[in-house]
């Protein structure tokens, strides 16, 4: 079994419901979820939108390869209404699921870059990841997640989400 960390985000529709649905799909189709971070309200990153995001990170155990996980996550996103346009760049979406870490492996191929290449630049990933894995060491940088969060220069707002 390999421990993986996945980032989940949504800024369209019923965002909290989208995250819950994605968690169920991941648990059924990708691996057994063993830990879930708090949910955070965050600003869009890399594009302008009036719709804030809800972001979180989950930890899971899986027997799948990283490529198999990617294919299943793309299918989950598609099933949940995500439309991908390779020419559109960053856009609003019902669900976005990224593989952050696949054990301590470093994978670079035409489909995948693991660890995720933008982890260190994105507070909306580092904050929830720090909730559940503060001492996990980035396999390339050798720094713990809590240290990466402390060093992150991302000025965007990341606030705890409180369900009303």
Asked if residue 8 lies in contact with residue 95, where contact means CB atoms within 8 angstroms, the answer is: yes
Determine the average pLDDT of the residues in 114-133.
94
Q: Which domain holds residue 41?
A: 2-160
Q: Indicate the range of 33-42, 46-55, 110-119 predicted with least confidence.
A: 46-55
DSSP state of 127: H
Question: Largest Cα–Cα distance in the chain?
Answer: 43
Domain count for the chain, please give it.
1
Query: In CATH, what number is assigned to the domain containing residue 124?
Result: 3.30.70.560
Whether the per-residue pLDDT at 80 is higher than 70: the answer is yes
What is the pTM assigned to this prediction? 0.92
How big is the chain by its Cα radius of gyration, in Å? Answer: 15
Cα torsion 37, 40, 46, 52: sign:
positive
**Residues tagged active-site:** 82, 93, 96, 98
Mean local confidence (pLDDT), 110-134: 94
Q: Report whether 100 contacts 119 (CB < 8 A).
A: yes
């Amino acid at each position: 079994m390999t421990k993986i960390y996945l980032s989940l985000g949504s800024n369209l529709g019923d965002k909290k419901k989208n995250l819950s649905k994605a968690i169920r799909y991941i648990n059924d189709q990708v691996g057994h979820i063993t830990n879930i971070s708090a949910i955070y309200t965050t600003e869009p990153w890399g594009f302008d939108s009036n719709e804030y995001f809800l972001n979180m990170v989950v930890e899971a155990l899986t027997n799948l390869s990283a490529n198999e996980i990617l294919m299943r996550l793309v299918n989950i996103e598609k099933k949940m209404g995500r439309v991908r346009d390779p020419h559109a760049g960053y856009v609003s979406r019902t669900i976005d699921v990224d593989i952050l870490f696949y054990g301590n492996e470093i994978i670079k191929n035409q489909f995948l870059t693991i660890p995720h290449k933008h982890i260190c630049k994105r507070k909306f990933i580092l904050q929830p990841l720090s909730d559940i894995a503060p001492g996990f060491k980035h396999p390339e940088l050798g720094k713990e997640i809590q240290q990466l969060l402390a060093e992150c220069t991302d000025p965007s707002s990341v606030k705890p989400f409180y369900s009303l």
